[in-house]
């Protein structure tokens, strides 16, 4: 099938590449000329396992094209995916200007029936706005003859960064919202054909009305964020009462009604989705006169949780960290990505630097992105950046540090050579923001160890 993807960001690029891999003829549009030039010369703007191979294979096969030509992109696909960014406005609502601009361009150039798919995460009711934007352009063209038909469907993405290709190729569900007008039924037929390869063994598509599909995406992320914040709050209490949140996690996760996933306490969630989507859903509720009390707390707990490592460090070393030097492992908001958006490491670094410490940092893939982002974070204080040393490997970062602090649970941090860690650190102290290690084991091998919610009374 002929598909157009508008926006070659994270979601658009993965969607386009994977649909091409299934044999479709995919045209990816982006207005950022540098990004398109990079993709056309074999580069990939993001770090995502497996993506580079798929892009290169399908470009070579002539099934995947990258361009800045809007008219050509509208002409190409019978199905037009809108996968542009929806950054949060100052008030937390999703900024729809790029989505609506994409819709207007479709209306400006389309000459026959199109299915427009909202792939970006957009508030409930956006499909109606997209329809209106397309129709307004069609009306402005004063076309003679039968009106050009189109249908806007909602097909939210559920891609996890670092596992996006796998999530796309082996989805646990595909959510599609269509209306039941004749154009909506035509859209249903085309979308069914497009996703057929995923539904051969068993049906994975959940068909619903458009608003429910839009809502489903927010409900899913809000539920996951709630689980994390709830566990973080319990972990903070576990620290006070002397219980082990990891034991508690097993104890409750074994109940199938609760399940094990997304119950990991840590130093807060980040990324491009949870923080933004939680805020946007709260905002939608407010627009309809309702306060989402639980989500407000989810957000507050998460903001607090990003400070928990800093708190533990100041409880141990005192509030003035002048002359103290820390090793920090993990900068990205989670493993297998170089994404620094809303990363807990940024909050911690701000705190350590503001209190006068120096920090040696290492991340397996996010070093360049971290440098870029931290330059912006500390733009108000040039001297601050000089107190952050970027290290090529995790061992170097440890040298003469007063403690090791872990913020991201990269696999390579899970079983380090602890003798080497101890030898390089000035003192054997570990603040583990992702509960990678067993407190008792760490104490047995001579570390002073601080996890999240793991202050169970220990045998000496």
Nearest 10 degrees: Cα torsion 28, 31, 37, 43: -60
With H, G, I as helix, E, B as strand and everything else as coil, classify residue 96: coil
269 lines the binding site for ligand UDX (CB under 6 A): yes
Segment 386-405, which members bind ligand UDX (CB under 6 A)?
Answer: none
Helix ranges restricted to H, 242-306: 245-253, 274-287, 293-305
Beta strands in 119-164 (DSSP E): 150-154
Q: Per residue, what are the HEC states of 300-317?
A: HHHHHHCCHHHHHHHHHH
Backbone angles phi, psi at 343, to 5 degrees: -70, 140
Choose which of 274, 378, 413, 437 interacts with ligand UDX (CB under 6 A): 274
Nearest residue to 10 via CA among 23, 22, 34, 28 = 28
Angle at 64 between CA 271 and CA 190, to 5 degrees: 85
Q: Is 412 annotated as a binding residue?
A: no
105 lines the binding site for ligand UDX (CB under 6 A): no
159 lines the binding site for ligand UDX (CB under 6 A): yes
Q: Is 9 annotated as a binding residue?
A: no
CB 28 within 8 A of CB 8: yes
Q: From the CB of 265, what's the least distance to ligand UDX, in Å?
A: 7
Q: From the CB of 182, what's the least distance to ligand UDX, in Å?
A: 32
Q: Is 158 exposed, middle or buried (0-12, 13-18, 19+ CB in 10 A)?
A: middle
262 lines the binding site for ligand UDX (CB under 6 A): yes
Segment interacting with ligand UDX (CB under 6 A) among 64-72, 258-266, 323-331, 389-397: 258-266
Q: Is 7 annotated as a binding residue?
A: no
Nearer to ligand UDX, 195 or 333 (CB): 333
Segment 175-234, which members bind ligand UDX (CB under 6 A)?
Answer: 221, 224, 228
The answer to whether 178 is a known catalytic residue is no
Nearest residue to 152 via CA among 135, 138, 131 = 131
161 lines the binding site for ligand UDX (CB under 6 A): yes
Segment interacting with ligand UDX (CB under 6 A) among 24-32, 257-265, 388-396, 417-425: 257-265
Residues annotated as catalytic are 273
Interface residues with ligand UDX (CB under 6 A)? 157-161, 221, 224, 228, 262-264, 266, 269-271, 273-274, 333-334
Write out the binding residues: 30, 35, 86, 121, 158-161, 217, 262-266, 270, 276, 334, 341
């Amino acid at each position: 099938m002929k598909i157009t993807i508008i926006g070659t960001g994270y979601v658009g690029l993965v969607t386009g590449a994977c649909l091409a891999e299934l044999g479709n003829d995919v045209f990816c549009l982006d207005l950022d000329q540098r990004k398109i030039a990079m993709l056309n010369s074999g580069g990939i703007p993001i770090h995502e396992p497996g993506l580079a191979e798929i892009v290169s294979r399908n470009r070579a096969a002539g099934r995947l094209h990258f361009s800045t030509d809007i008219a050509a992109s509208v002409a190409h696909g019978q199905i037009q995916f809108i996968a542009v960014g929806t950054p949060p406005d100052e008030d937390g609502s999703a900024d729809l200007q790029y989505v609506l601009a994409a819709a207007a361009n479709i209306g400006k150039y389309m000459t026959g029936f199109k299915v427009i798919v909202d792939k970006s995460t957009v508030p409930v009711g956006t499909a109606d706005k997209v329809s209106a934007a397309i129709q307004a352009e069609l009306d402005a063209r004063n076309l003679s003859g039968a009106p050009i038909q189109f249908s806007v469907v909602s097909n939210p993405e559920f891609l996890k960064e670092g596992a996006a290709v796998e999530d796309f190729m082996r989805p646990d569900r595909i959510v599609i919202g269509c209306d039941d007008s004749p154009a909506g039924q035509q859209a249903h037929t085309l979308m069914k054909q497009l996703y057929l390869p995923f539904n051969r063994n068993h049906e994975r598509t959940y068909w619903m009305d458009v608003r429910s599909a839009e809502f489903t995406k927010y409900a899913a992320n809000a539920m996951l964020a709630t689980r994390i914040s709830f566990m973080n709050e319990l972990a903070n209490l576990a620290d006070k009462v002397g219980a082990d949140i990891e034991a508690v996690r097993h104890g409750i996760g074994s109940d199938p009604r609760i399940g094990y996933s997304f119950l990991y306490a840590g130093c807060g969630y980040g990324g491009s989705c949870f923080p933004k989507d939680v805020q946007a859903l709260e905002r939608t509720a407010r627009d309809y006169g309702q306060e989402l009390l639980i989500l407000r707390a989810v957000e507050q707990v998460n903001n607090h949780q990003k400070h928990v490592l800093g708190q533990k460090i100041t409880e141990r070393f005192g509030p003035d960290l002048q002359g103290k030097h820390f090793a920090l492992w993990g900068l990205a908001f989670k493993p297998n990505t170089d994404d620094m958006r809303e990363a807990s490491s940024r909050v911690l670094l701000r705190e350590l630097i503001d209190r006068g410490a120096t920090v040696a940092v290492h991340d397996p893939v996010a070093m360049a992105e971290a440098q870029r982002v931290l330059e912006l974070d500390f733009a108000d204080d040039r001297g601050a950046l000089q107190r952050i040393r970027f290290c090529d490997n995790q061992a170097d970062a440890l040298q003469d540090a007063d403690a090791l602090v872990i913020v991201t649970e990269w696999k390579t941090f899970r079983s380090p050579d602890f003798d080497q860690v101890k030898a390089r650190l000035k003192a054997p102290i570990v603040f583990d923001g992702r509960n990678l290690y067993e407190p008792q084991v760490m104490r047995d091998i001579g570390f002073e160890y601080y996890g999240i919610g793991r202050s169970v009374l220990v045998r000496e």
